[in-house]
Structure 1
């Protein structure tokens, strides 16, 4: 399959090239009438004809690249181009080719002068000058440039035009109104210019003043538009996460050859998220206290960095418990003035314990505390982090590992090493670390030891790691055990931002090296039987492990043929625009950013299907709180291996995933990109159960800023 980023980049580049190629002839063609009807007019016509011909060839290139995208990635990746951008350039190009090009061709043929200025020569000159100012020749070229400008603008500023039909209609309105105005203006100009004799352009000063006026007018309009867009982007001072855009019906999509339907809205007693708690009585089986505080951290490299920590440690202390145990965690805030929370990433806790500021609780300010109580229903590898200003606080170090061991474990017959490795890039210049170590972690391990490496990617970008020196199994993904995992080797593991892999191996009588980089052997984990520091060779071009076909199949609770109660289609794009008053690149869901992103509605017991379509240029690790998603297909191909359950799915550029889950955990749940910078710029939505309310608010005038 072609590289989506390359192909989509070429396609976008063609829109810019097309606009530039049409701009020059559009500016030059109106000056033809001022050229002498001999060589100067002929040469200018040829030049304009050449540029117009090149522009028309680019239109064909646009159609070619669009068709290539369709062939490689499918209709969802070209829908906006085929229905939105391309017609804005195709229709004017068709008119220009049929109407303007023949007239330009006639003007490009030299006028053969007679020996003396005869009446026929004078008539021919008048005819040529009349045609050089004809709106039939000039306006289609100008309209072509206007259409190219509108298409390029929509492509970069608003790529999801078919999801925002009013903007597409506005673009067509501008094209039609602009073309009409140009036609009226040029008709008047033709009447003024239709006379024989030498023609002179207006004086330079006049043209300068005209150009200055047009430039000032366009600048004023642009500034007014930009200011209006900036004001419209400002986030509310206060708002509830339960009442932003609801688009459940509009987002229902038909797929799989049978009709989809929205579950009927039922009237239920309103339930506040504060009622959806874990057990509030009884002695906990495990009790932890985590104190959020600022600290200076000395890294093994000798670098000292400012960090925000739990209990003064980076990462925070590893929390371990057993499945079925009642866990109580007391969060205290010592000196983080912005407030903190704790979210249990991947662990399906009751909604009130989810730790999202403004959704399930208020942020905990300095001097305050908050108690989380929940039963660990799952086993596996998870992690915890602050969900208050998470794009800032996680980067600064407010995170740690959470391991839930199976309730019943048989005593192993051989030595066991169970090691958790947190991959993270610390802010303030700390760089990439493993368990807070920015160098080479070393551990002596006896040959024959059963090793379980719990890999956690706490960074905002995918981590591609490789394990050299031993064959291994991927035993679990996001805390979900793989059924009959295969023994593999020489494959790179791509961990989504926020994702986890459990890797198991038997320690050989040689060194084993886990590297977070495909070329850097100075950082990572080195296991060796004798404590040596000899690092196995790294391979820069290993194939990537594919969870879609790994392990052995098992019966599924639902599949692609299931009739789902809710079916949501979510398209990821990138566009330029304002968010909360700041101009930036915006990562959108269905053309919107929070709080205008869609609300995913469900009622308890619903089967919910989501389709993720990534038309942007970056990975989007989609993290659904409170639930695990079953991956049904990738790029149209059903998954074939062990059931692939995940809570953080990395959707790479050009990828399409179908996932589903049972709505069995009532509440208000975030569903967002775990590139936390993307989430902070609005790539956030929510799953809301019918009848659930929240007393908490977010906004600049509240203490709560979850992203």
Structure 2
């Protein structure tokens, strides 16, 4: 049984437990009758089922069960033992007509069970994991206080407290529990707090006032100094102007877009060893813009994250990015200022770096993007047909610039997955009849030899737009062929794993993904959390240059999270305990509900790097953390005069 199914079962048991215990507590019939015993036995079964379900969740990963193990389950077991002991005493006295009903202690124990079951729902749906001692204490306090108030309300002595005392006691418990819960979730921005601890010394060295980062004990480096400072003429040079306009698609549909000058962005291509220089100008995007080089290991100062590596470029302003193209592959660029709006509206483009030895054949780059409900491949919402001689090597670089996973099929020919996220696959073999699921931000390079009968590539998001390949101008591409299987990158390719991946890691960290009610920068909301917190309150993963780092990513929620660490490519170690058969290097990967990913990388690119969900709406609602190198600081701030807002 999957972790997600077990989570649903646990929530259902929580509801059932609260209901059955409440029924037991309010049933007034004799305890010797079936009408009283049925809900009582039901409550017992629910508690035992909850314990078994929690054990199953723990078997998947500790963080699926942590909140229940630390709070609601012990409370449920205590209530069950209390109920059993009190009930046995009642049964021994059941011979007396006056003792045929459940006593006040037994009913109070049932109410305690009800409160404990409700606490299981609260911890799962509101607190999450990892839960701080304050949060766990708040749950215990709330259950204990609620039980005490029930006991007080049920007291039948002459000195029974008036209703006002019950109300006052209830208010005190709620206030105390709420206060503990708020304290548990309130913490300063850890990146800012760390920098302020060493602010004076860092400023003296960098000449700036550091707002973020971990200066360490030595001389810190500002992100503004982690840039290419060469002055030679660049090999690839272009200017991009961000602007608003209306775009008319081949179908005649007119869509309002924000772009870097054209729909789908100008394609930027380079060769390994080239110096790339791109000047960004903002004509009229009021929110501001940047350029983030998605998946590419640029120097940190050119990462294009507003509020971390630069200020957003306001209308009339400009910023120049410059870096050396060090690795080949398929990448893309997009704004990282209010990106949940800007990327969706069209502020993106393709970036391809070719190896020094030119590849023969046809090379096609296709960005997949939806505007509203209209899929655009490149710049068209209609078939894009190309005439190719039979036997020609074809490489199609598919880039998902959307927020959600795209499902792509290849018809008319077998194909090879030549590269994923810019990294070549070792010894790719032929694939046929399998669909490709490309995560948000991800890239798949599909390669095939042009067949006589042609080929086509379809995206499930559209019945109108596709890529067609024919051998004659008057020929029709083949029909789309349905698939019954999905390509599995864990079971593909060949090659040796790096030696460091089999050794102890210098840094290990866990990121627990969830969706919980939190106080975000925009006010209370149903936020997307990492380790129970929202940006900017999420502690970063702190590393030193040269460290080997292992991250465990646990998805406790019910949404897919396409995670994207900046500045590094990561090696997949396992998915739900299943190891890849060959090295699988990624920078954008879907963590499905209930999944546990283990990934690793070498900290070989100094800076302060974002690590976030690339469903940018999730990022905008809090799912943003960072990878911070000790000794690196940033003078930029979230918000401020520049109104920086990376998501």
Tell me if TM exceeds 0.5.
Answer: yes
Q: Tell me the secondary structure at the aligned position of residue 189 of structure 1.
A: coil
Unaligned runs of 5+ in 1: 33-40, 110-123, 194-205, 247-263
How far the C-alpha of 1:349 sits from its partner, in A, is: 0.6
The worse-fitting range, judged by mean Cα deviation, of 335-344 and 643-652 is 643-652
Name the counterpart of 2:13: 14
Name the counterpart of 1:681: 621
Q: Are the aligned partners of 2:145 and 2:170 in contact in 1 as well (CA < 8 Å)?
A: no
Q: How does 1:481-630 map to 2 (within 5 A)?
A: 481-517=424-460, 521-531=463-473, 532-533=475-476, 535-539=478-482, 542-559=484-501, 561-630=502-571
Distance 1:389 1:155 in 2: 30
Question: Is the alpha carbon distance of 1:145 and 1:595 closer, same or farther for their aligned partners in structure 2, counting shifts above 3 Å?
Answer: same
Q: Are the aligned partners of 1:423 and 1:432 in contact in 2 as well (CA < 8 Å)?
A: yes
The partner residue of 1:669 within 594, 609, 612 is 609
How far the C-alpha of 1:70 sits from its partner, in A, is: 4.3
Question: Is the alpha carbon distance of 1:89 and 1:228 closer, same or farther for their aligned partners in structure 2, counting shifts above 3 Å?
Answer: closer
Q: How does 1:70-149 map to 2 (within 5 A)?
A: 70-71=58-59, 73-100=60-87, 103=90, 124-125=96-97, 127-128=98-99, 132=101, 134-149=103-118
The partner residue of 2:597 within 639, 653, 657 is 657
Question: Is the alpha carbon distance of 1:235 and 1:135 closer, same or farther for their aligned partners in structure 2, counting shifts above 3 Å?
Answer: closer
Q: Tell me the secondary structure at the aligned position of residue 485 of structure 2.
A: coil
Distance 2:173 2:385 in 1: 63
The yes-or-no answer on 1:435 pairing with 2:378 is yes
Q: Which runs of 4+ in 1 moved over 6 A?
A: 104-107, 213-236
Q: Tell me the secondary structure at the aligned position of residue 636 of structure 2.
A: coil
The worse-fitting range, judged by mean Cα deviation, of 79-88 and 326-335 is 79-88
Distance 2:181 2:636 in 1: 28
Q: Tell me the secondary structure at the aligned position of residue 479 of structure 2.
A: coil
The yes-or-no answer on 1:171 pairing with 2:139 is yes
How far the C-alpha of 1:75 sits from its partner, in A, is: 3.8
How far the C-alpha of 1:533 sits from its partner, in A, is: 4.1
Question: Is the alpha carbon distance of 1:77 and 1:220 closer, same or farther for their aligned partners in structure 2, counting shifts above 3 Å?
Answer: closer
* Equivalences, count: 628
The yes-or-no answer on 1:189 pairing with 2:189 is no
How far the C-alpha of 1:616 sits from its partner, in A, is: 1.7
Name the counterpart of 1:425: 370
Distance 1:62 1:221 in 2: 26
Question: Is the alpha carbon distance of 1:265 and 1:703 closer, same or farther for their aligned partners in structure 2, counting shifts above 3 Å?
Answer: closer
The partner residue of 2:633 within 685, 688, 693 is 693
Unaligned runs of 5+ in 2: 197-213
For residues 232-286 of structure 1, the C-alpha deviation after alignment (integer angstroms, 9 at most, x for no partner) is: 98999xx79554799xxxxxxxxxxxxxxxxx99622111111111134111111
Distance 2:304 2:152 in 1: 63
Q: Are the aligned partners of 2:146 and 2:170 in contact in 1 as well (CA < 8 Å)?
A: no
Q: Tell me the secondary structure at the aligned position of residue 525 of structure 1.
A: strand
Question: Is the alpha carbon distance of 1:163 and 1:409 closer, same or farther for their aligned partners in structure 2, counting shifts above 3 Å?
Answer: same
How far the C-alpha of 1:576 sits from its partner, in A, is: 2.6
The worse-fitting range, judged by mean Cα deviation, of 676-685 and 549-558 is 549-558
Question: Is the alpha carbon distance of 1:84 and 1:539 closer, same or farther for their aligned partners in structure 2, counting shifts above 3 Å?
Answer: farther
Name the counterpart of 1:198: none
Name the counterpart of 1:154: 123
Name the counterpart of 1:279: 229
Q: Tell me the secondary structure at the aligned position of residue 329 of structure 1.
A: strand
Distance 1:89 1:348 in 2: 51
Q: Are the aligned partners of 2:363 and 2:395 in contact in 1 as well (CA < 8 Å)?
A: yes
Distance 2:187 2:412 in 1: 52
Q: Are the aligned partners of 1:230 and 1:578 in contact in 2 as well (CA < 8 Å)?
A: no
Question: Is the alpha carbon distance of 1:448 and 1:649 closer, same or farther for their aligned partners in structure 2, counting shifts above 3 Å?
Answer: same
Question: Is the alpha carbon distance of 1:20 and 1:579 closer, same or farther for their aligned partners in structure 2, counting shifts above 3 Å?
Answer: farther
Name the counterpart of 2:318: 369
Name the counterpart of 2:205: none
Distance 1:103 1:694 in 2: 68
The worse-fitting range, judged by mean Cα deviation, of 565-574 and 324-333 is 565-574
How far the C-alpha of 1:104 sits from its partner, in A, is: 7.3
- TM-score normalised to structure 1 length: 0.82
Question: Is the alpha carbon distance of 1:308 and 1:215 closer, same or farther for their aligned partners in structure 2, counting shifts above 3 Å?
Answer: farther
Q: Tell me the secondary structure at the aligned position of residue 83 of structure 1.
A: helix
